[in-house]
Each structure stands twice: as C-alpha cells, then as structure tokens.
C-alpha cells in the first residue's frame, strides 16, 4: 500500500474512532441517565467491539475518556496522592432535633435580615469522592482523604457506568463535583454471599464494601462490584453556568448527566418544616437503593453560604442529622450450622422472633467461627440485633451483664452436620468447608439454585419439594430431575395428580430456557445474571464458553481476571463436564441456536412489560422477539407498546404521559393469535 493510500485509511479510521466515541457516549447517557435507550444491547456491543478493534490497531489514539477503558488497564502498584483544588470538609453531625433547631437559630442570628430557605436530602452512607472536569471532560477522580489530599482513584471511578466522561450541555471550564460512591443493597448481599462461599470475611456493611472496592488496585475487580454514585455538591468552579440556589445546582447536575439524590425536600423559614422533612425522610429511607443513616440539611441560597463561611473542619451552613440505628434485644436460642452449595459452613443464630427495621427477624448470620469468638456469642445469651446495612440481620452485641453460668462458649463442629465427613479449613482463609461433593446439604443448595426463578425457573421445585426428592432417593444430582415420572412424584407427601403434572410440565419447559439462565444455574462462582447474559450473547453455547481461554474471556464486557478464573476452574473440573453431558442427554439445550427463529414482524417495535401476567414474563418477551419486537425495561418517548398486567405501577403512568399504546393481556394474545 502506498504512503498516500495508507494516510487516507489512517485519517478515515481516526474519524471513525472519534465518531464511535461520540455515539457510545450518547448511548451511555440515554441508557444510564435518561432511561431511554435507542438501540439494543447487541448493537451497542457491536459499536464497542468496533471501537476496541480500532484502538488496538492504533494504540496512540487511545484516549483516557474512551468508553473502552471503563474497566481500566493493568493493576496499579499503589495510589497516587492528589491535592483537591478546594478542600473537602466534613459535616457536623447531630442525633438531636434540639441541635437542629440550634443550627437554624445560629444561621438566623448570623443573617438577621435574610429570609432563609433550606434543602434536605438523604445522607448516602458511602465513600466521599470528588471528580475534576476540565472543559466538560472528566480528568480525575479522587477520595476525600484528609480533606486536602486524597487518593487518585480515576481508574476505579471509570468502572462506574453512571458517571459520564463528558458533561452534557453548557458546562464550566473547571468543576470539582462532589458526591458519594456507594454499593447498592442488592449488590452488597450478593457480594457478601460470594465472599463467604470463597472463604473470605464478609463486609460488615455496604459502606465498608464500597470503601474496600475503591481501594482495590485492580480496576477489573472494582468493575465486578456494581458500585454506583450520587452527586450533591461542588468545590472549585470556573466559568458559566452560575447558580443562586442549591436546587438550581442540582438541576444542572441532572441535565449534565450526573446522578442526583432521588428525593429532595425544600423548606422555608420555619424550623418546624425542617423537622417535618426529617421525619418524612425517615419514613421512606428504606426504599432507596443505598443505605442512608441520616439527613443532610443545607442552606439553599448560595450567597448565604458564602456569608456565613466555614470553621476549620466544617461548613456553618450545613449539618447532618443522624438517625439512631434501629436495634432490638432478643434471645439467641441456638446456633445452628448451614452448609452452602460450595461447602462453606456458616453458623446461624436462631432467635426469638423480633421486629427490626420493619420486618420480623428470627435468624441472623454469625458469618464464621472467628466472629463468634471475637464477640463471645453463646447460646442462651440475650443479644442485640440490627439490620447490617438495613439488609442483613446481624448480631451486633451481647448483654453480658445479663449472662448467667448457663451460657457456655460455642465450638464449631469437627464434622459436617449433613454428611458427617470431616470439615477442612483452607490455609489463609477463615472459612471452614465440607469438601464431600456428595454432601446432601450441598446437593440441596445446588438444586435450589438451579431451579430458582432467576435461573432455570422451575415452578414447584422449591426447597420443600427438593428435600422430599432427596430424602426419597428419587434425585441425587441435578440431571435426575429430568428423569422424574408422574408415578415417582405421586409417592411423595402432599403431591396429587395436578401438582405432579404441573411440576413435570415446568421441568420440561426448563429444557429450552435461554442459554444465560443455564449459565447462571450452573452455579459458577462470581457469575451473576448480568454476566451470564453477556457470556451467552458472546459465545452462543456452553461448549464454546467451556473452550474459551482466560485471555479470551477477559476481552468480554464485565469479565475480569477473577471471573475468568472462576469460569476456567469450573470447566476444568471433570464433574462439571459430566454434569453438562448428562443434561444434554436429557434434552436440556446447551445452545441458544435451538431457540426458534423469528416468525414475522407483526409485533415490531419497542415493548415494555409491567405488572403481573398470567404467563411468565420471559415467555411473553420471547413471543415479542419471535415476532420482530424488541423488549426493554424503561418507558420513553420511543416506546411503541406497554403490555400491562395486574397491578401495573409507575410504568403505566409514564406510558400514558408519553402517549404509548397500552395493551392488556387479552389484546396481546389477540395480536399473537388473531383467531382468539
């Protein structure tokens, strides 16, 4: 190729790289900030792969804000220290409503001629961060540190997909945007389960988990954690736009594509309005995806903030009201042992039922033997329980002052309570495991996971039914469920003709579930439903996934070194291959190629499903896809149809607002089969 021709292609590729980055950033904003995606995940992935290939071809063209760098590069040796342009102060805290009133009176005294107004927002219990944007482009992310100097965690910040690399609309020349990185409650529960299965210490609460995640030197590990962020303030600010109030600033944040608090209260000059808002927030705070331990009250008018200033440690114009953690006392009757599907032994506190944070708690995890020893927890103790991170019941204290000589120290068993084989402790880990692959408790948990709604979705094959099947000897391993006959089921207690027929029908239907469900159902360590979908889409079959190398796997979106290692470990095990062979022999589809091809385009358009349907939602979605439609989760102006079942909620209201065509299930069935 001559020099002129080579330069022509180089210029074309450079233009295409810039075009792809702009297009992907636009789609990221539509998906994460507007909840109004315009293209399918497959089309987005195609753009991603094209950009990745071009950047590999031209490494000198790789930009720090490229969408392909969201999972960072090689692990860091250590974090670099960076100085904040404007120091990050902390807030003064109080647990007293009286002190909130004193805060109000102090401001009124400092500003006697001013009409005060305030905002109140949930205090996100996470890790404070600051992002530095220059000319609207993200150049750095850092932790608070000592308030003056923090750790440069840019590589980890880039893994949080809700953070835009480029601000939308009018933006200042320089802006330090302050916020809080948090781990959503659902992600926290999943992360702790995975850590316990691997023999690692669980995190005490979502805040510790978020902090531990941001401190990871390998951004690929951070990317698996599912961190999110809320922004609420600023430090350095140079250029337009300018604001008069905090509420105006929050409007700017949202318009720029930055996540903001889900609810804000704006109060007037009456201190009673502030107290009322505090009580309202307390009533709804458990509904937020993040843990919140209080309310942040701020002067709304920015000029007032400048006039009152700050102390050496905290602003005078803001205060954090902290809610008392909700705890309850009860009796710990017994410590039982639970065996997980990976063999990890977990001690569980069996409690006298007690109401905590709106729900009745009768069991609480004790995590491991070291936790019991450290807190000196004994059977018969009167203990203090709270929801750790408002999610998981935990024993946080023991009333030793009420202890008698009846309570004796607890000792972990030497043998598995299920199969009675010797237990083993892995060197360097706190977990104790049963390593017997035929352990009934492990088989029970693996079967429960395989049949669960998020996996193969076998309706009727729950904990009680699986226990009966194992006890009767009808099932000894996962593939055995596919050879069950009606006469086998009728031998079991409380199983009649109808329930037996329904269960067999559900088992039969599970043979043709989408591939991602099977990948998740196999119980591969560190594989959730999201990564299972990505892997199914990329590889198309179990066997192709089984042959993938660790290097190939890490080229997959959301798959880092740890996840790739887990996949390779699973498929390197002869038992895993035998399991897949038996499943295939029983007719379970190991590939998505077996899914029927599109029938026609009669349901073409973008669909959203909401409410309770008489058929499984995934089945309705498959019918839509077979007839040319595309299914998404969010309503937008571009949505063509909303299929509304019983108890349809906010999506129905949004559809009405946007003028989306709304169908009930009867109308939907007629579209599928006009003869009905």
The answer to whether residues 381 and 403 touch, using CB atoms and an 8 Å cutoff, is yes
Which pairs count as long-range contacts for 435-440, CB under 8 Å and 24+ apart, including other chains? 435/343, 436/343, 437/575, 439/339, 439/343, 440/470
Helices 41-57/3-32 angle, 10° precision: 140
Token couple for 209: 């988990």
Contacts of 662 (CB under 8 A, 6+ apart): 641, 642, 644, 652, 655, 656
Cα–Cα distance, 19 to 15 (Å, whole number): 6
Point out the residues that are catalytic: 123
Using alpha carbons, select from 180, 187, 304 the residue that is nearest to residue 231.
Answer: 180
Cα–Cα distance, 232 to 250 (Å, whole number): 7
CA–chain centroid gap for 410, Å, is: 35
Kindly tell me the sign of the dihedral angle through the C-alpha atoms of 571, 575, 577, 583: negative
CA distances from 393 to 357, 385, 387, 412 (A): 10, 7, 4, 21
Cα–Cα distance, 564 to 575 (Å, whole number): 19
Q: How many CB atoms lie within 10 A of CB 662?
A: 16
Q: How many CB atoms lie within 10 A of CB 546?
A: 17
The answer to whether residues 549 and 567 touch, using CB atoms and an 8 Å cutoff, is no
Using alpha carbons, select from 199, 616, 637 the residue that is nearest to residue 427.
Answer: 199
The upper half-sphere exposure of residue 414, i.e. CA atoms within 13 Å in the direction of its Cβ, equals 0
Residue 536's SS3 state is helix
The answer to whether residues 435 and 343 touch, using CB atoms and an 8 Å cutoff, is yes
What are the b/e assignments for 166-192, b being 16+ CB within 10 Å?
bbbeebbebbbbbbbbbbbbebbbbbb
Element (H, E) at 295: strand 292-299
Residues in the chain, total: 676
CA distances from 663 to 538, 613, 624, 634, 667 (A): 33, 12, 13, 16, 6
Q: Furthest-apart CA pair in the chain: how many Å?
A: 92
Token couple for 317: 């114009």
What are the b/e assignments for 70-87, b being 16+ CB within 10 Å?
bbbeeebeebeebebeee
């Amino acid at each position: 190729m001559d020099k002129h021709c080579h330069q022509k292609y180089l210029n074309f590729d450079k233009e295409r790289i810039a075009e792809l980055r702009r297009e992907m950033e636009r789609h990221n904003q539509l998906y994460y900030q507007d909840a109004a995606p315009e293209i399918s995940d497959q089309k987005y992935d195609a753009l991603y792969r094209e950009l990745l290939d071009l950047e590999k071809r031209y490494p000198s063209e790789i930009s720090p804000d490229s969408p392909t760098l969201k999972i960072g590069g090689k692990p860091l040796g250590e974090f670099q220290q960076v100085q904040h342009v404007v120091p990050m102060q902390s807030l003064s805290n109080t647990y007293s409503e009286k002190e909130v009133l004193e805060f109000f009176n102090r401001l009124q005294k400092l500003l006697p001629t001013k009409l005060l107004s305030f905002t109140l927002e949930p205090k996100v219990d996470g890790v404070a961060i600051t992002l530095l944007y220059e000319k609207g482009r993200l150049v750095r992310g850092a932790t608070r540190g000592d308030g003056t100097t923090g750790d440069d965690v840019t590589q980890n910040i880039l893994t949080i997909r809700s953070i835009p690399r480029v601000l939308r609309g009018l933006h200042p020349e320089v802006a330090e945007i302050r916020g809080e990185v948090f781990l959503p409650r659902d992600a926290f529960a999943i992360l702790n389960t995975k850590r316990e299965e691997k023999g690692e210490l669980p995190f005490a609460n979502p805040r510790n988990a978020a902090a531990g995640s941001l401190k990871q030197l390998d951004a690929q590990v951070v990317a698996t954690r599912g961190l999110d962020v809320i922004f609420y303030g600023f430090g350095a600010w140079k250029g337009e736009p300018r604001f008069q109030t905090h509420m105006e600033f929050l409007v700017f944040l949202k318009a720029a594509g930055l996540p903001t608090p889900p609810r804000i209260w704006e109060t007037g000059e009456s201190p009673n309005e502030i107290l009322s808002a505090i009580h309202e927030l307390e009533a709804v705070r458990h509904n937020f995806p993040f843990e919140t331990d209080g309310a942040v009250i701020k002067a709304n008018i920015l000029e007032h903030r400048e006039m009152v200033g700050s102390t050496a440690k905290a602003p005078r114009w803001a205060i954090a009201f902290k809610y008392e953690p909700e705890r309850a006392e009860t009796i710990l009757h017994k410590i039982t042992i639970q065996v997980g599907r990976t063999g990890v032994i977990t001690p569980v506190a069996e409690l006298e039922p007690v109401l905590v944070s709106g729900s009745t708690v009768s069991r609480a995890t004790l995590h491991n033997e070291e936790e019991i020893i450290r807190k000196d927890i004994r059977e018969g103790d009167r203990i203090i329980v709270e929801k750790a991170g408002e999610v998981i019941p935990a024993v946080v204290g023991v009333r030793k002052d009420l202890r008698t000589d009846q309570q004796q120290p607890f000792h972990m068993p030497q043998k598995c309570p299920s199969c009675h084989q010797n237990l083993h402790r892995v060197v360097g880990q706190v977990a104790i495991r049963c390593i017997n692959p035929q352990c009934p408790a492990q088989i029970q948990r693996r079967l429960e996971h395989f049949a669960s709604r998020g996996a193969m979705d076998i309706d009727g094959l729950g904990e009680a039914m699986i226990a009966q099947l194992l006890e009767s000897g009808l099932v000894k391993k996962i593939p055995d469920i596919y050879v069950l006959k009606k006469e086998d089921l009728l031998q079991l207690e409380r199983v009649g003709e109808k329930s037996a027929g329904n269960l067999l029908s559900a088992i039969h239907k599970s043979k043709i579930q989408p591939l991602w469900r099977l990948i998740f159902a196999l119980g591969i360590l560190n594989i959730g439903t999201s990564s299972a979908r990505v892997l199914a889409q990329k590889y198309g079959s179990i066997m192709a996934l089984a042959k993938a190398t660790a290097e190939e796997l890490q080229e997959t979106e959301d798959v880092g070194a740890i996840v790739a290692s887990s996949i390779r470990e699973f498929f390197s095990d002869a038992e895993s291959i035998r399991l897949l062979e038996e499943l295939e022999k029983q007719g379970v589809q190991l590939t998505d190629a077996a899914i029927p091809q599109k029938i026609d385009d009669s349901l073409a358009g973008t669909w959203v499903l909401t409410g309770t349907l008489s058929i499984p939602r995934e089945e309705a979605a498959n019918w839509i896809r077979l007839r040319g439609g595309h299914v998404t989760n969010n309503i937008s102006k571009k949505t063509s149809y909303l299929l509304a079942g019983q108890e349809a909620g906010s999506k129905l209201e949004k559809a009405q607002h946007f003028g989306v065509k709304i169908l009930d299930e009867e109308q939907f069935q007629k579209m599928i089969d006009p003869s009905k």
